Amino acid sequence: MSRLSPFAAVVFDMDGTLLDTELVFRDIVWDVSRTLGFTMTDDIHLSMVGASHEATSALLVEAYGASFPYSQFDAECRRLMKGRMAEAVPVKAGVPELLGELRQRRIPMAVATSSRAPHAFGHLGTAGLLEMFETIVTRDDVANPKPDPEPYLLAARRLGLAPGACLAIEDSLMGVRAASASGMQTVMVPDLVQPTDEVRALCRAVMGSLHELRATAFATPVA
């Protein structure tokens, strides 16, 4: 196991890191694209993972041309996702145990996500995780979304800590780039996307699960 440096707080990405929502969204993206008359591919979808609203719009227009109805695509994806997540939002394996351990050790937690505030607060609330976090940074809080470091820098500022004192947990390539650029110790726990050599080099560690992260970070029991 890779050893981690001491940290005073943890900043989590949301979708694919805390919430097991990426596969659900994948199915929705495929269905909506087909309904609109476009063929989604694995390469295009994976390039969307962790991307902001603006970045997703740009890459879809680049892939399908200026006629791609992004506003309609985005609205329909959001509508279907809201319906799917209305009653239950699945969490990633190891989330309850890791968050419980951090709370027991009085280590503050934050979220830095590219999702807009209604999506972020709604899904975290339905998942029963909202009250675990000191602060939640969404797309609505920053001028520059991931891969810019601004979301992570703002999370650290709200926590009252230097970025270097924080541990960032990410599942996407854009997220790792953002967290690393902020100066945070960064761990990638891949979901749908595996790290490239470039992204792996930005990480303190790449781990297979949040269970592995917890075992690595907390080898000794709480006193």
Cβ of 216: how many Cβ atoms within 10 Å? 15
Across the strands, what pairs with 108? none
pLDDT averaged over every residue in the chain? 93
Peptide bond into 149 cis (omega under 30): no
* Distance (Å) of CA 39 to CA 33, 65, 73, 85, 137: 6, 13, 13, 25, 33
108-163 pLDDT per residue, tens: 999 999 999 999 999 999 999 999 999 999 999 999 999 999 999 999 999 999 99
CATH superfamily of 9-21+90-217: HAD superfamily/HAD-like (3.40.50.1000)
Mean pLDDT to the nearest integer, 196-206: 97
d(Cα 14, Cα 97) in Å, to the nearest integer? 16
**Per-residue pLDDT at 222:** 60
Burial of 142 per CB tally in 10 Å (0-12, 13-18, 19+):
buried
Question: Does the pLDDT at position 1 exceed 50?
Answer: no
Which band of pLDDT confidence, cut at 50, 70 and 90, is reported for residue 221? low
Across the strands, what pairs with 89? none
